Chain A
Amino acid sequence: MKKVAVVGYAQHPILQNAGALNEVELIMPVVHQLFADLGICQDDIDFTCSGSCDYLQGAAFAFVEGLSAIQTNPPIKESHVEMDAAWAMYESMLKIQMGDADTALIYGFGKSSPGDLDSIISLQMDPYYISPLWPDRVSLAALQARVLLDQNIITRDQMLAAVIEARVNSKNNKNALITDLIDESEYLDNTMISSPLNKLDCPPISDGSSAMIIASEDKAYEFTDHPIWIEGIDHRIESSNLGSRNLSRSNTLQVSMGQLDLNNIKFDVAELHTQFSHELPFLKSLLNLADVPTNLSGGPLVGNVMMCAGLDAIGKTFESLKENQFKHGLAHATSGPCLQHNMLVHLEKQK
C-alpha cells in the first residue's frame, strides 16, 4: 500500500459566535496559513476535498459557497463529503494511494451558532418514526451515558474528571473556546440537561474551520524531514436502530482495533472525538488507552466545531507527534448518535 503522510494542519480559533464571518472568511485564513507554513499555493495541490453540512448554514449547496475560499481558476480536482472532514481526509488518502494525486488539501467548516443544533441534529434519525419525535443530540447521548453508568462501565467521577481535565488541558490549545477552570462543586451545581448529562458534560456550541495537507511518500519529504505517516486507518458504521445496538460496547470499533493491530502498539498520545464527558472514559477503556495521555488539546469539550472536530482530532495528534518525542499517536473521529460511525487513525513518526 502506498504510504501517505500528514504534512500540515491549521485550525481557526474556535468561536462561540462567528457573527457575520461567513464560511469563506472562516476557511480562507486556515488554508492560507497552511500554504504559508509550507511555502506552497493551490497550484501545488493535486486534489482538494472538504467536509461540511448544508443544514448548519440552512442552505442547500452551502459547500459550494465554501469553494470560493480557494483558487479554482484553472479548474481543480475537487470533491466534498457531507460528513466530518476526517472523511474528506480519508477520500483524499485513497486518491493518493491510487496514484491520482501526490498532494491533497482538506478543509472542514461549521457554524453551529446561527441555528438550533438540537433540532438540526434530530433530523439525522429515521425520518418516519424517530425524527418526528425531535430527539435532541444531548438526550440521545444521555441514553448511552445511562447505559454505561448503570452497567458500571464508567463512573460519575470519571465524567467529572473528563470535564475538569478538558479545561486544564485547554491551556495546550491556543484555539480552545473554553479555557476557564472549574472545580467539583461547580460541576455538581450545574444545570441538568438530560439526565445524566448536565450542561458541562456537553460540548459548547462552536463556530470554526480547519485545514490539513497530506502527501504521498515521494512528496512528503519535500515538505519535511520527518513526515507523520498514516500507518493505519479504518472506519465502520453501526446500525441506525438504537434499539438493536448494544450501547455498552462497540462491535465496529473492536473490528477496527483488530484491523489496526491496536493491541500491539504502545501509543504515546491519543485525541478522541468525544463530544460528551461519558464518551471519554468509555472509549479510553474500549481502546485500551488507560495509561495514554488523551485529549491533551482539551478535546471537543473545550471547542466542538461541527464537521471539523474529527479532523481536529487527527490534526491535534499530528501536532503532538510533531512537537514532542512521541512515536505513535491514535486519533478518533465519530459521526451519528451514540458513536454510530467511528474512524481510527494510527499516526506514526519515524525517527
Chain B
Amino acid sequence: MLALEMYRSLPRHLAGKAIGGRVPGLLSGYAAPLRLVTIDQPRVDRPGWARLRTRLSGVCGSDLGALSGRTSLYFSALVSMPFVPGHEVVADLLEDCDDLPAGTRVVVDPVLTCAARDVEPCDACATGATNRCGRITVGSLTPGLQTGFCSDTGGGWGEELTAHRSQLHPVPEGYSDEQAVLTEPMACAVHTALRAGIRHNDRVLVSGAGSVGLLTTLAIRSLTSAGEITVVAKHGHQKELALALGATEVVAPGEVLRRLRRATGAFLVKPELGPSYLLGGVDVAVDAVGSKQSLETAVHATRAGGRVVLSGMPAAADLSAAWFRELEIVGTYSSAQQEPGLDGRGAFDVATELLAGDAVSSLAKTIAAYPLHRWREALDHAHGAGRLGTVKVAFDPRSKK
C-alpha cells in the first residue's frame, strides 16, 4: 500500500528544528523526515483488531510539530519509528470488528489504551480516563501514544491502517467525511472545555483560532456557562468563524492584552524587557496554539488564581506569572472514553453531536483534501493554513488527482 512514513533522520530532524519554524517550505522539501513509500498493510493479529481503509485523515498541529522537530524529546520514548502519521481519521472497516460489520464508516479515537494493548487495565483506563493510560509503551504493540505514532498500527496518512474496537466510533448517517474527520479534534476540544473548570459567567480567553481554538470555542460555549469568550485570531476568516462558533469578541494578537485590560479593569504592566502583562485579567485562558507567544499571552492575561489550560502541545515559555499569580496550569491531552463532566459519556459522543451544527458544517466544507503523492503541497498548505483561509488540511489516500 501507499503511505507517508516518518522515519528517523538526525540531520533532517536538526535541520527542521533549526529553520523549520522560519522556513516551513523546507519541511515539505528536503528537511522533512517524511517519505512516500510502498509498504505492507499494517496488521495486528489479535482479537478486537480490524483493518480500515482511510477516507480522510487530517493534518494536526502535533504532526507538523513532529515533522519540524519542535516536539519535545520527551515524546521520543512514546513513539516507534518508522511510523505512518495521521491520528484524525475517518475510514471504512475492511473486515468485521466485533459488533461492527465490514463497510462501517468509523472515526478513530487514536489513544492506544490498555484494551488495545491487551494488558490489564491501568488505574486510569479502569475509570474511563483512557487518555491518561499508563501502559502506552508496553503490551502487544510497539510503543506509541496514539495511532499515527505507532509503527504497528499504521496511521491515517496511508491507504490502510488497523485499529482496535475500543477505538472505533461509527459515523452517523448524514455526516460528510469532512465533518467526520473533525470528530477527533472536536473530542479533544470537548475534553479541553471540561478540563478548563469554567464556572458560571467566567470570562474566558482562547489564544489561537486554528482548528483547535475554533472547536474549543464551540465546546466551551456549548458545554459550559462561560460569560464572555475572547478569541485571539490573526486572520479575517478565523474571526468570522470564531464569532459564529460562540466567541463574544475576536482580537488580533497584538491587541489582546489591551482589550482584556479594558474589559476586566486590570492593570497593564511593562517590564524592562519582554512583553507586557496584566495584573488581573480573565478567569480562564486556553492556549490553543502551543507556541511560546501564545502560552505567554494566556499566562499574562489570566487573573491571579485563574486557570491556564494547555490545549496545544506547549513550547518552552516564561512561567513566572504562573508562580507569582498562583495560576492553575492544567494540561489537556486528547479525550477520554468516559468524561467525568459528561455523566460517563465519552467525548466522541458529544463531539459527534456538536459537529451537526451549522457553523461546524460550513467549517467542514472548507477542508482542503490532498492525495498522498501531493504531500509536499499539503504540508505547505497546512503550515500556511490560517493565512490561506483554511482551517484544516487533510489527506485523501483514495484520491489520485
Q: Do A and B associate with each other?
A: no
Interface, chain A (partner B; CB < 8 A) = none
Interface residues of B (CB under 8 A from A): none
